[in-house]
Structure 1
Amino acid sequence: MILIVSKEYEKTTIHILEQIDYLGLLYQRINREDAVEVKNIIINNNQIDVKIYNMNSKENIDFNNITAFYCRKGNISYKLNTNHLESISENKQKHILKHLQTEWLTIQSFLFQELHRKKCFSDYEKVDMNKLHQLFLAKKCDIDIPNSLVSTQKKSLQKFQNNHQNNVINKSIQNYFDFVINPYHYFNYTEKVEPTHIENLEENFFSSLLQENLQKLYELRIFFINNDLYASAIFSQSHQNTSIDWRKSTEKSKVIRFVPYTLPSEIKTNILKFINLSGLNTGSIDMIVTKNKKYYFLEVNPSGEFLEMSKSCNYFLDKKVVEFLKSDVL
């Protein structure tokens, strides 16, 4: 049985489940919106036995029956019943709830550790792998990276910008900023930084990331499962509004071309070194190929999107993911 941990209406997971249904494979699903209750965790010299209950789907989940684990943008959550705390002062409630939350996080971590002893697609604990550390690992694997600066000082940003002929970009240090306040959806893009942007800053501010703006020929999206690489070239330079961040496509520029791409052997070797060093077994790597044909690593997203490149390049990656999950080879 395959355990799916995701969130409601997650597009990639829907495609994976269609393949699982087509093959007639058994699965159970936990969404991050669901409330899960621990029935039993038995740990002794003879066994480790874990049974949980999904309060939304009304299903018992026995870890002994799980052969593979798929995790994408999901979590195992617990809804705490606070009725028994009503007679306790608010100040005491706060401390008790904080302690119970810590207790649950320990249980949650144990559940994921047990699931990762199965065959697993994606590592829950590495979903937010530090992107600054990613740059360090890439450099360690002989992959070029863009010159980067994280600073809180206006003078440092101005110096960095001057050193790169006023051609730098600003991006999130870790995750993109994304939230909804109806009826609006707010999120940030990677943007080019103009001199006036820095001039208008205070002398000190919260840590910000600048990178040199590489003169790209095209971008690469490289999806991997273990050591199998599936590369696609993205011609985002075809449209001005997508030249810095291809996610800014509009109706006029939405047809951004994804084409299959063959990686040079040296780049492929170094990427495989990076994958092994990072400890990831799946993810989407973003790179840039510059006009002078140099390859630069940008980041790896352990739960990166791959449906668009899969469809455009006929890679059938959803099928390959399910084949991996159902394979008898651990």
Structure 2
Amino acid sequence: MILCLTHSQDTFTIDLVQQRLEALGYEGFRFNSDEFGTKYRLRYRLHATGPQYELRCGNRVIDAREIRGVWYRKMWDLQVPPSLDPAYVPAFLKEYRTSLHIFLDSLDVPWINRMDLDHAVGANKLMQLTAARSVGLHVPQTLFSNHAEDAIRFFDDHGGNVVVKLHGALSKSMDGKSDFFPTTRLRKEDVPMLESLSACPMILQEYVPKDRELRVIYIDGDFYTGSLRAPELTDWRTGNTTLVSWETWELPAAVEEKIHDMMTLLGLPFGAIDMIVRPDGEHVFLEVNPQGEWGMLEKYLGFPIAATIAEKLVNRIEQYG
């Protein structure tokens, strides 16, 4: 059995991966992380032969020893029962989060991706940029600061060609319909607003002229790359997403090799990588999202991403023994 760790609103991608797992002879059990405190029961017992962990959902009982691999798609915040007294909500969240991680930490099996590495990389864009530069990928000049003088000097040093963005995304989707702060070109008239950085540190980067934006899906050495032309937008999600037209893109072999080296260095078998192709053809690394969206590439370009995730995980399981 393979545990598919996701959330209750996940559609399309989770179904495709489970279908391929079943075709390969493995049952995929969908575990909606946000419903853990409302629809699941967890039991831990310490026997003379060792610990026993059980996950219960309705009449279904899963012994942790049955789980041979984990696909870590996403984890969402826990749902709180509406009948719960607000005074008990902090304890509810704390204890259920602890229980969930005790269960997941017990799974000494192949993961795509391992949760600790997934979270560490996803939460640290500066680590990503450092790793990308170390393997030879081109990355933009970057400043992360809460100090207005630093930001103003950075703006001036780059002749005003600077974009600004939050370190963490506010949106959970690629369609731009949720609340999010997009990557924004900083204008001269915006510079006085940098005095407010003390309230919210932000990332400033040199503006990179672009011919295309790329979403590169990396799966354990395989690549699926979609591209789009959106030169008039700093962040394509700020436009009308119904007009966005994804096209296939062939990464140069040297760029693929460097991305592979970076992902190996970060310990991630899966990642959604954002890049820019400059008008001169140079590929510029922006970031890697260990839980990035890819359904649009499978849907519009026909990439077998879901099947590849399932196959790569099964390969790791069979090699693990």
- TM-score, with structure 1 as normaliser: 0.80
Q: 1:163 to 1:262 in 2, by over 3 A?
A: same
Residue in structure 1 matched with residue 261 of structure 2 by the alignment: 273
Residue in structure 1 matched with residue 163 of structure 2 by the alignment: 169
Residue in structure 1 matched with residue 61 of structure 2 by the alignment: 60
CA contact (8 A) 2:146 2:202 kept: yes
Residue in structure 2 matched with residue 118 of structure 1 by the alignment: 109
Residue in structure 1 matched with residue 230 of structure 2 by the alignment: 236
Residues 1-330 of structure 1 mapped to structure 2, 5 A cutoff: 1-11=1-11, 12-20=13-21, 25-34=26-35, 35=37, 36-42=40-46, 46-54=49-57, 57-74=58-75, 105-115=97-107, 117-125=108-116, 126-127=118-119, 128-176=122-170, 185-202=178-195, 205=198, 206-237=200-231, 240=232, 243-250=233-240, 254-259=243-248, 261-327=249-315, 328-330=318-320
Shift of 1:21: 5.8
Identical aligned residues as a percent:
23
Q: 1:103 to 1:227 in 2, by over 3 A?
A: same
For 1:30, the aligned partner's letter is F
Structure 2 distance, partners of 1:25, 1:161, is 54
Structure 1 distance, partners of 2:277, 2:154, is 22
Structure 2 distance, partners of 1:200, 1:279, is 38
Shift of 1:286: 0.9
Shift of 1:137: 1.1
CA contact (8 A) 1:40 1:52 kept: no
CA contact (8 A) 1:5 1:76 kept: no
CA contact (8 A) 1:51 1:60 kept: yes
SS at match of 1:231: strand
Q: Give per-residue Cα distances to partners, 1:123-164, cap 9 Å, x unaligned.
A: 322243411211111111121111111222322222211222
Residue ranges of structure 1 left out of the alignment (5+ in a row): none
Q: Max radius of gyration: which structure?
A: 1
Shift of 1:224: 1.4
Point out the structure with the larger strand share. 1
Q: 1:247 to 1:145 in 2, by over 3 A?
A: same
Structure 2 distance, partners of 1:216, 1:3, is 40
Q: 1:132 to 1:212 in 2, by over 3 A?
A: same
Shift of 1:223: 0.8
SS at match of 1:50: strand
